Structure 1
Amino acid sequence: MQRRTWMAVVVATTLGMGTGMAQAQGEAFPNKPITLIVPYGPGGVTDVIARALGASMGKTLGQTVVVENKAGAAGAMGVVDMLTARPDGYRLTLAPVGIFRQPYIQKVAYDPVRDLTYIASFMTYDFILTVPASSPIRTLQDYVAWARQHPGQMSYGTPGKFTANHVAMALLEKKTGIQLNHAPFKGDADAISALAGGHIQSAIFANSILPQLQAGKVRALATAADRRPEAFADVPTFREAGYGFDVPSPLGIAGPKGLPQEVVRKLDAAVKAAMNDPGFQQVVANYGIRTDYRDHQAYAAFAQQAFAEEKAIVQGIGLD
């Protein structure tokens, strides 16, 4: 009897220790550095903002957030990485809206709704149609009129085929009936150089064009934002100009499917806290970025809606 009693105590104690250790491990998240994949090359606006966000999140989480650049696949390399990442919260990725479009354009290995856990969004891109400061085209109406008179002769640069930049211009073509000449580049830097060198007549950029605009090297004709961004307050939106569309492009953080809810909540809280961190706010202001926070529930709902809507957009403007 004594031996049985002793064995029962040992078993109970062992089970209790195991449960306690498991709880302690869960409560300790994170207890090592977190990797955040940026699916673009280093040095761009997205990379800079992501690093600032990671630094601010680290203050809340008590761990370093390390940025890993994985460019390629139209911004989907991070999502592909999540297919094999452990669902423990230590490997995350940025989730650009292009991941909802790609499955309707080409064969991909992922489902953007089923294969990811959405944590929070933190910013939105604004796309700005520009021409060189020396161009005789001064307004969007001038741009459309010239393109209408010269079908296929107005060239415009983007950071790549099927990007949201490309979508915005394809929508402009559909709304107006004009025919433009698309010149895709590897990124904004190459497109900016081509525009400055006179190799293309126009280009549509995200916020990376702000320094050139402030220096008077380019003229902004319109933005694809839903309302005028503060950094481009003097620039009309496509909708204001009478063309009836905008291209929302929030950017957020996602992890692999099956991420525990307590981990999601901690990461979500860290993103929300970063929105109020002076260091992050300064970097965002330097690039004229609009913050756009959605919590994990709202961001997951956005992902489902965006994936459903992209099919009609792709088919409607002939990108497929």
Structure 2
Amino acid sequence: MQRRTLIALCASLAAVATMPQAGAQGAYPNRPITLIVPYGAGGVTDVIARALAQGMSKPLGQTIVIENKPGAGASMGVVDMKNAKPDGYRLTLTPVGIFRQPHIQKVNFDPVADVSYVAAFMTYDFILAVPANSPFKSVKDVVDAAKRDPGSVDYGTPGKFSANHVTMAQLEQKTGAKFTHVPFKGDADSINSLLAGHTKTAVFANSVQPYLTSGKMRALAIASDKRTEAFADVPTFRELGYAFDVPSPLGIAGPKALPAEITQKLEAAIQSAMQEPAFKQVAANYGIRLEYRNAQEYSAFAKKAFAEEKDIVKAIGLD
């Protein structure tokens, strides 16, 4: 009797050993996912990333944990992807700065080859603003003043080679005007300087909205391809005759060779999250323009942006 029981037990153990391991081979995702935000906690990007992560958690059935990794020109997430397994459990936000960084300095990542682009969900807009009491009433006023006295018109940004800086560098190239760049550590310092009268103009992302609404600042132009709902009264640079815009989509990517079925699940989760009222409200609070690009479209944008940024950096100069 004992011998028959032992044989039966061995047979059962053998059967279990040959069964697929639910924890290792179960349907994706079967455990929490980490999303890297390459900025500090509490900023606009961090806030909207957390809202998106919460919305994505519902269709995926798993928690998405935010991991803040600021520094290195917002490229820490892409660097992280080089060593991450392509299993969909470690992802990163991918700001446009990652396409510019390799042309500025030596880096240990390739923003096209080292990641798999999943989807973009929003785009930043960059606005040229002045204090409410500024004598500048238009972009033409700013350009004319800079032409009359080269270097006399300064502008604040969150730093050299930021998209804010690129905006004014493009305006210089299109007009021949010469401005003076004043880089700060972030939008907050640039805002304080402008309101205190230390700088004459500045380029801000969506963080400027409250100051426009309160009447403390006046927007002269926006560097988007079209007018946006949040800044409907602000003309684009193109409308004003300056033929450029500064596209700045923000999306999610994973390590290279991310399986197609995982990418598709994440794409669907992002689309679902974008329809969540809570996520839409967070975006509206900051005047953020929601704009979806699927994996194919986002990958194509990445290749194009990486190539174009080389010319932009060259035009600005590294000195």
Alignment partner of 2:136: what SS?
coil
Matched with 1:21 is 21
In the aligned structure 2, how far is the partner of 1:112 from the partner of 1:26?
Answer: 30
Query: Per the alignment, do residues 139 and 26 of structure 1 end up closer, same or farther by CA in structure 2, a change over 3 Å counting?
Result: farther
Matched, 1:132 2:158: no
Q: Over residues 251-273 of structure 1, what are the superposed CA-to-partner deviations in whole Å (9 max), with x where a residue is unaligned?
A: 00011112222221111111011
Offset at residue 314 of structure 1 (A): 2.1
In the aligned structure 1, how far is the partner of 2:38 from the partner of 2:317?
Answer: 26
In the aligned structure 2, how far is the partner of 1:176 from the partner of 1:230?
Answer: 28
Alignment partner of 2:73: what SS?
helix
In the aligned structure 1, how far is the partner of 2:190 from the partner of 2:67?
Answer: 24
Matched with 1:109 is 108
Offset at residue 53 of structure 1 (A): 0.5
Query: Per the alignment, do residues 263 and 41 of structure 1 end up closer, same or farther by CA in structure 2, a change over 3 Å counting?
Result: same
Matched, 1:169 2:168: yes
Matched with 2:50 is 51
In the aligned structure 2, how far is the partner of 1:40 from the partner of 1:70?
Answer: 6
Query: Per the alignment, do residues 227 and 60 of structure 1 end up closer, same or farther by CA in structure 2, a change over 3 Å counting?
Result: same
Matched with 2:219 is 220
Alignment partner of 1:243: what SS?
coil
In the aligned structure 2, how far is the partner of 1:309 from the partner of 1:26?
Answer: 41
In the aligned structure 1, how far is the partner of 2:239 from the partner of 2:47?
Answer: 31
TM-score norm. by structure 2 comes to 0.92
Contact 1:231 1:288 in 2 (8 A): yes
Give structure 2 stretches of 5+ with no counterpart. Answer: 1-7
In the aligned structure 2, how far is the partner of 1:137 from the partner of 1:26?
Answer: 63
In the aligned structure 2, how far is the partner of 1:210 from the partner of 1:98?
Answer: 22
In the aligned structure 2, how far is the partner of 1:293 from the partner of 1:167?
Answer: 23
Q: Over residues 161-200 of structure 1, what are the superposed CA-to-partner deviations in whole Å (9 max), with x where a residue is unaligned?
A: 1111111110101111111111111211121112122221
In the aligned structure 2, how far is the partner of 1:121 from the partner of 1:250?
Answer: 6
In the aligned structure 2, how far is the partner of 1:26 from the partner of 1:237?
Answer: 51
Alignment partner of 2:224: what SS?
coil
Offset at residue 36 of structure 1 (A): 1.1
Q: 1:215 is matched by which residue type in structure 2?
A: S
In the aligned structure 2, how far is the partner of 1:313 from the partner of 1:282?
Answer: 34
Matched with 1:271 is 270
In the aligned structure 2, how far is the partner of 1:187 from the partner of 1:87?
Answer: 33
Q: 1:295 is matched by which residue type in structure 2?
A: N
Alignment partner of 2:282: what SS?
helix
Matched with 1:75 is 74
Contact 1:74 1:160 in 2 (8 A): no
Q: 1:111 is matched by which residue type in structure 2?
A: D
Alignment partner of 2:135: what SS?
coil
In the aligned structure 1, how far is the partner of 2:25 from the partner of 2:272?
Answer: 21
Offset at residue 26 of structure 1 (A): 4.3
Matched, 1:284 2:283: yes
Give structure 1 stretches of 5+ with no counterpart. Answer: 1-5
Offset at residue 35 of structure 1 (A): 1.4
Matched with 2:122 is 123
Query: Per the alignment, do residues 170 and 319 of structure 1 end up closer, same or farther by CA in structure 2, a change over 3 Å counting?
Result: farther
In the aligned structure 2, how far is the partner of 1:122 from the partner of 1:26?
Answer: 30
Matched with 1:3 is none
Q: 1:113 is matched by which residue type in structure 2?
A: V
Contact 1:80 1:109 in 2 (8 A): yes
Contact 1:174 1:317 in 2 (8 A): no
